[in-house]
């Protein structure tokens, strides 16, 4: 596209959507290009999911949650926030070799409530203790008298066709542990 300004012809670039041909949005006040982050884009596209829950655990009470990724290149880009009313220890084990029987399925929600897409990740709460595997995250927070929160701000891309186990261990006599996980599922381009 060519424009003429002050008698000088110049070339300019017009940013348009590859799929719709619509021009990029421009903020009228600043002339800045309006964008959203990638994970926010995945919410709009219906490929962003979440689950939330809590468990009441007594002293040394433990909850095991199994996560299983599908054998596809549509990988889960995973984040979490965990809170507790008292001392809490949590681990994430990749590839446990045994245990994790029983439990109940966890409902996973699409962040775009208008989308019918479903997550490929399968989550089961209340399974038996895992054996083996590699601890890829381990955190402890709070005290017996007061709680705290931990958040994973950088996503972990979960390995395809792999089982994980999230463990919650209470170090307090009466502990309400809350958990929020969110992720988008994106097909790897490599």
- Cα–Cα–Cα angle for 102, 63, 92, nearest 5°? 100
> Would you give the DSSP letter of residue 158?
P
Mind listing the pLDDT tens digit for each residue in 121-130? Answer: 999 999 999 9
pLDDT band of 12, cuts 50, 70, 90:
low
Cα 136 → chain centroid: 16
Q: Does the pLDDT value for residue 187 go beyond 60?
A: yes
Is the residue at 4 inside a domain? no
Supply the pLDDT for residue 9. 61
- Assess whether pLDDT exceeds 60 at residue 11: no
Indicate whether 39 belongs to any domain: no
Quick check: is 142 in a domain? yes
pLDDT digits (tens, 9 = 90+) for 28-46: 777 777 777 878 888 888 9
Burial of 85-103, coded b for 16+ CB within 10 Å and e otherwise, reads bbbbbbbbbbebeebbeeb
Residue 26 within any structural domain of the chain: no
Cβ atoms of 7 and 15 closer than 8 Å = no
Q: Does residue 99 fall inside a structural domain?
A: yes
Q: Is residue 165 part of a domain?
A: yes
Separation CA 184–CA 190 (nearest Å) = 17
Residue 8 pLDDT grade (very low, low, confident, very high; cuts 50, 70, 90): low
Tell me how many degrees the CA angle 134-137-91 measures, rounded to the nearest 5.
85
| Segment among 23-27, 37-41, 65-69, 115-119 with least mean pLDDT | 23-27
Residue 180 included in any domain: yes
Residue 59 main-chain phi, psi, to 5 deg: -55, 125
Q: How many CB atoms lie within 10 A of CB 109?
A: 14
Q: What is the mean pLDDT of the chain?
A: 89
* Residue 35 counted as domain residue: no
The CATH code of the domain that includes 154 is 2.60.120.380
* Domain region containing 180: 49-187
Mean pLDDT lowest for which of 20-24, 131-135, 140-144?
20-24
Provide the number of structural domains found in the chain.
1
């Amino acid at each position: 596209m060519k424009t003429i300004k002050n008698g000088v012809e110049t070339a300019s670039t017009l940013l348009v959507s590859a799929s719709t041909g619509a021009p990029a949005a421009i903020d009228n006040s600043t002339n800045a290009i309006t964008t959203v982050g990638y994970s926010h884009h995945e919410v709009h596209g219906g490929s962003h999911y979440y689950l939330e829950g809590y468990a009441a655990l007594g002293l040394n009470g433990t909850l095991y949650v199994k996560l299983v990724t599908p054998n596809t290149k549509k990988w889960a880009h995973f984040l979490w926030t965990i809170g507790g009313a008292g001392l809490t220890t949590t681990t994430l084990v990749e590839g446990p070799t045994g245990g994790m029987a029983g439990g109940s399925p966890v409902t996973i929600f699409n962040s775009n409530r208008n989308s019918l897409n479903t997550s490929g990740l399968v989550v089961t709460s209340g399974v038996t203790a895992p054996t083996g595997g590699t601890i890829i995250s381990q955190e402890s927070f709070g005290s017996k008298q007061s709680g705290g929160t931990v958040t994973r701000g950088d996503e972990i891309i979960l390995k395809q066709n792999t089982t994980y186990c999230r463990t919650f261990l209470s170090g307090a006599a009466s502990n309400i542990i809350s958990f929020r996980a969110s992720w988008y599922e994106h097909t790897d381009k490599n």
